[in-house]
């Protein structure tokens, strides 16, 4: 990784202090296993204060609705902005949910 680059992981702040702490620890543990410490930072933002998190959540929800329930209404509103997507479970035989 270039010395000038740093991975910034942004997540919405969740629930109570205890929930936030557990979630942050989970994110930090995962990053520690995959990325050198000096190259990443985790930022937790109150989702009520960041409209871009609302947009990202809406897009993820619309795509999930398309795949899970075959409801294309919301997906069609964002389809022109999606560069790629794929069915992650297409080749597996285990039903996870």
pLDDT tens digits along 6-43: 888 877 766 677 777 888 888 888 888 888 777 888 87
Strands 7-12, 40-45: parallel, antiparallel or unpaired by DSSP? parallel
Residue located via tokens 């910034």: 8
pTM of the model: 0.53
Is residue 30 within a helix (H) or strand (E), and if so which, with residue range? helix 17-34
- Exposure letters 26-45 (e unless 16+ CB within 10 A, then b): eeeeebeeeeeeeebeeeee
10 C-beta neighbours (distance < 10 Å), count: 13
Rounded mean pLDDT, 88-97: 70
């Amino acid at each position: 990784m270039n010395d000038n680059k740093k991975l910034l992981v942004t997540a919405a702040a969740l629930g109570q202090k205890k929930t936030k702490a557990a979630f942050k620890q989970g994110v930090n543990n995962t990053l520690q296993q995959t990325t050198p410490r000096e190259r990443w930072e985790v930022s937790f933002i109150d989702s009520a204060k960041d409209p871009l998190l609302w947009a990202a959540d809406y897009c993820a929800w619309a795509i999930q609705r398309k795949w899970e329930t075959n409801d294309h209404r919301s997906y069609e509103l964002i389809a022109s902005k999606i560069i790629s997507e794929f069915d992650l479970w297409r080749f597996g035989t285990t039903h996870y949910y």
